[in-house]
Amino acid sequence: MEKTDVRYQTYLNVLREELVPAMGCTEPVAIAYACARVRDELGDLPDRAVLKVSGNIIKNVKSVVVPNTGGKKGIPAAAAIGFAVGHAKRQLQVISQVTEEEREVMRELLENCPITVEPSDGEEIFEILVEGWRKESCVRVRIIRFHTNVVLVEKDGEILEEKSLKAEAPVEEEDLLTVRDILDFADTADLEDVKETLSRQIRFNTAIRDEGLTGKWGAAVGATLLESWGNDVAVRARAAAAAGSDARMGGCELPVIINSGSGNQGMTASLPVIEYAKELQSSEEELYRALLVSNLLTVHLKTGIGRLSAYCGAVSAGCAAGAAIAYLHGGGYEEVAHTLVNSLAVVSGIVCDGAKPSCAAKIASAVDAGLLGWNMYRNGRQFYAGDGIVRKGVEETIQTVSRVGRNGMVDTDREILRIMTEE
């Protein structure tokens, strides 16, 4: 692919905008970010606050530990730490630097400042509306569709910032992604154009992997895999991604590089590939090109589903990682495409019931499916069109999976939310 090709710059944009650092699970951090914007505009702490959030936000914040809060969970904790810290310019790293004094402010806010949480009344799947009052002054901040997409900042009835609601995603060109073109880009990309982005992903995500493998976070799924099944590379690949999630869902205060708005997806897309590259003694160039495959395929698979749904995002990343491992073994379009189809046929349908420790186990299952898809194909076995949702060709199969996640699981999403909010 030539650098002058519009797809080349598009793919660079996708990588730079999707592979960004975040501290903590991205939904509570998005709440903290919105609240920090409110604090910054108010110029002081609020006396009271109302948060109106969509169901998927409620689902993904309910059970996950918010970093730098002393182990607290839930929307009020995420809001309070955002108010306490401010500094919204940090965006998804808004709570990466928290002093003990700010934690004390957070605790006082939780005790003395009414923070009301209500379901949003709009149709946006991803919506956070924060209203904060200081005496007679009121600031409103609205985020929709993705984590840093602030579409409204209003103070005392005056609109300070407003954005068009037309764009569905931070990168409008994502619909230009195809499996064949992704491989073309990965084969030919000037690595100087992507080295900084990918080296940061390797550095950040391996650091939290190592922390997760200590076994003190969450349900210690990563450590359990190694203790139960040994040190084979396939086990290590699953354990690495799971361990990163163990730490992240447990409130570890290390940043990760996300993918498609999710730290779990960012770790799942990268850590198994890194593990296989080490086993195969791959060169840095080979690793970087395989990471291009995994990251861009993850974005491609997620684009049709949407940022948040009842469809577990780790499935997309795990299947993409399996395809990238096929690529790392020298596979081309046929190997990658068949790996994707095989793996998607296995694990599509795993539900997302919010961010919490069991995400690590789902990640392990998704990576296992990705590896199974690759091993099936190289042993001359595959699923065929007509086998359930599998269609003729990888792009057609991706489209059917997108339909399942985006349309078919809407009622599932509602029922999951009802179950999770039952007393």
Does any domain span residue 247?
yes
172: confidence class by pLDDT, cuts 50, 70, 90: low
354 and 404 assigned to the same domain: yes
Reported as a pLDDT band with limits 50, 70 and 90, residue 166 is low
Residues 226 and 109 in one domain: no
In a shared domain, residues 85 and 105: yes
pLDDT at 159 over 60: yes
Judge whether 304 lies within some domain. Answer: yes
One-letter-per-residue 3-state SS of 24-74: CCHHHHHHHHHHHHHHHHHCCCCCEEEEEECHHHHHHHCCCECCCCCCCEC
Q: Are residues 140 and 208 in the same domain?
A: no
**Do both 155 and 178 map to the same domain?**
no
Whether residue 155 is found in the same domain as residue 186: no
Count of domains observed in the chain:
2
Cα(327)–Cα(183) distance, rounded to whole angstroms? 9
Structure tokens at 250: 């447990």
- Does residue 121 have a pLDDT over 90? no
- Residue 423: predicted pLDDT: 56
- pLDDT reading at 390 higher than 80: yes
Residue partners of 24: CB distance under 8 A and separation at least 6? 32, 64, 66, 67, 68, 95, 248, 251, 263
Residues 190 and 82 in one domain: no
Long-range Cβ pairs for the range 109-112 (8 Å, 24+): 109/45, 109/80, 109/83, 109/84, 110/72, 110/76, 110/77, 110/80
Region for 87 from its dihedrals, namely left if φ exceeds 0, alpha if ψ lies in -120 to 50, beta otherwise: left
Q: Is the Cβ–Cβ distance between 391 and 399 less than 8 Å?
A: yes
* Pairing mode of beta strands 115-119, 127-134: unpaired
Residue 284 and residue 236 share a domain: yes
In a domain, 140, yes or no: yes
Q: What percent of the chain has pLDDT over 70?
A: 97
| pLDDT average, residue stretch 119-128 | 90
pLDDT at 171 over 60: no
Last residue of a domain, one of 105, 134, 162: 162
User: Does 360 score more than 70 pLDDT?
Assistant: yes
pLDDT of residue 169: 46
CA distance 233 to 159: 55
pLDDT for 266-322, tens place per residue? 999 999 999 999 999 999 999 999 999 999 999 999 999 988 889 999 999 999 999
pLDDT-derived band at 170, boundaries 50, 70, 90 = very low
Mean pLDDT value across residues 91-115: 94
Comparing C-alpha atoms, which of 281, 300, 293, 203 is closest to residue 244? Answer: 203
Picking from 26, 38, 30, the residue whose alpha carbon sits closest to that of residue 109 is 38
- Whether residue 346 lies inside any domain: the answer is yes
User: 207 vs 25, which has greater pLDDT?
Assistant: 207
Q: Check whether residue 260 and residue 388 sit in a common domain.
A: yes
Predicted confidence (pLDDT) at residue 208 exceeds the cutoff of 50: yes
Domain that holds residue 351: 172-421
- The number of beta carbons lying within 10 Å of the beta carbon of residue 408 is 17
Asked if 263 and 209 count as a contact pair (C-beta separation under 8 A), the reply is no
Judge whether residue 53 has pLDDT over 70. Answer: yes
Q: Tell whether 2 is covered by a domain.
A: no
Q: Determine the pLDDT at residue 62.
A: 87
Q: What angle do CA 368, 370, 375 make, to 5 degrees?
A: 90
Boundary (domain end) residue, out of 138, 162, 186: 162
State the chain's mean pLDDT as an integer.
93
β-strand partners of 139: 132, 155
Residue 7 lies in a domain: no
Predicted pLDDT at 122:
82
In a domain, 25, yes or no: yes
For the sheet with 115-119, list strands across it: 115-119, 48-53, 127-134, 137-144, 150-155, 158-162
Q: How confident is the model at residue 24 (pLDDT cuts 50, 70, 90)?
A: confident
| Percent of the chain's residues with pLDDT above 90 | 83
Instruction: Check residues 419 and 239 and name the one with the higher pLDDT.
Output: 239
CATH of the domain at 53: 3.30.1330
How far apart are the two ends of the chain, measured CA to CA in Å? 55
The position carrying tokens 């998927």 is: 56
Domain match, 296 and 347 both: yes
pLDDT value at 421 more than 90: no
pLDDT at 296: 98
Please say which residue of 143, 162, 181 terminates a domain: 162
Q: Which two tokens stand for residue 153?
A: 């900042």
Rounded mean pLDDT, 202-225: 96
Determine the average pLDDT of the residues in 386-394.
92
One domain, residues 241 and 133: no
Compute CA 58 distance to the chain's CA centroid, rounded to the nearest angstrom. 16
pLDDT at 173: 55
Tokens of 277: 């590259």
* Gap between the Cα atoms of 392 and 285, Å rounded: 33
- Averaged pLDDT for residues 143-156: 93
pLDDT in tens, 221-274: 999 999 999 999 999 999 999 999 999 999 999 999 999 999 999 999 999 999
Give residue 186's pLDDT.
Answer: 97
Whether 13 is covered by a domain: the verdict is: no
Q: Are residues 127 and 258 in the same domain?
A: no
